């Protein structure tokens, strides 16, 4: 009978060892999850010395684009609301009516441009999610931090943008 109890102890020890082997694997996963989103200060500005389009750069441009979009939406809503308020003041004078119509036309064109810009911002945010933001859609070369700071929705390098504009001009002349 003593032999049987020794065998059981060995089996129990073996089970204990396998459990201890599993535990380190489980503890390594929370480290990956606990990484969390990268936070940057509001005064952070991307630097040329940092790796191009590192996580800090992506967070910076995501925040910049989202803030820009929020401002555009707010401005459009105010313009549309204020424009609808002016509809009640219809003048009997034909010149005043023509002037009001022209003003509304200019205002609506500005709103349409802003709506297109909001669409471009959404596309840029999608490129950030896809890890293609900051790289030229034609050549896949880096667009550059200076250009992105000036125009966060830029899709092309300066050379590729000039080529596109030249092609558009040629086709517009046809």
Give the pTM: 0.69
- Specify the residue for token string 């550059």: 144
User: Under DSSP, is residue 138 helix (H, G, I), strand (E, B) or coil?
Assistant: coil
CATH number of this structure's domain 51-130:
1.20.120.910
Task: Encode pLDDT of 126-168 as tens digits.
Answer: 999 999 999 999 999 999 999 999 999 999 999 999 999 998 8
User: Under DSSP, is residue 39 helix (H, G, I), strand (E, B) or coil?
Assistant: coil
Q: What is the mean pLDDT of residues 28-52?
A: 73
Q: Where are the domains of the chain?
A: 51-130, 134-174
Chain centroid offset of residue 144 CA: 16
Give the separation between CA 38 and CA 28, rounded to whole angstroms. Answer: 20
């Amino acid at each position: 009978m003593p032999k049987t109890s020794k065998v059981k102890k060995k089996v129990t020890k073996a089970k204990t060892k396998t459990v201890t082997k599993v535990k380190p694997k489980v503890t390594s996963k929370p480290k990956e999850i606990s990484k969390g989103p990268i936070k940057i200060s509001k005064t952070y500005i991307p630097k040329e010395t940092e790796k191009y389009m590192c996580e800090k750069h992506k967070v910076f441009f995501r925040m910049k684009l989202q803030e820009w979009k929020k401002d555009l939406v707010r401005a459009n809503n105010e313009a549309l609301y204020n424009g609808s308020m002016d509809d009640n003041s219809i003048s009997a004078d034909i010149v005043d009516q023509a002037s009001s119509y022209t003003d509304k036309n200019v205002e609506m064109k500005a709103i349409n441009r802003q709506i297109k810009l909001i669409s471009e911002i959404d596309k840029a945010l999608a490129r950030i999610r896809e890890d293609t933001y900051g790289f030229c859609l034609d050549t896949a070369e880096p667009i550059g931090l200076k250009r992105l700071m000036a125009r966060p929705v830029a899709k092309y390098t300066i050379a590729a943008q000039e080529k596109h504009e030249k092609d558009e001009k040629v086709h517009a002349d046809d």
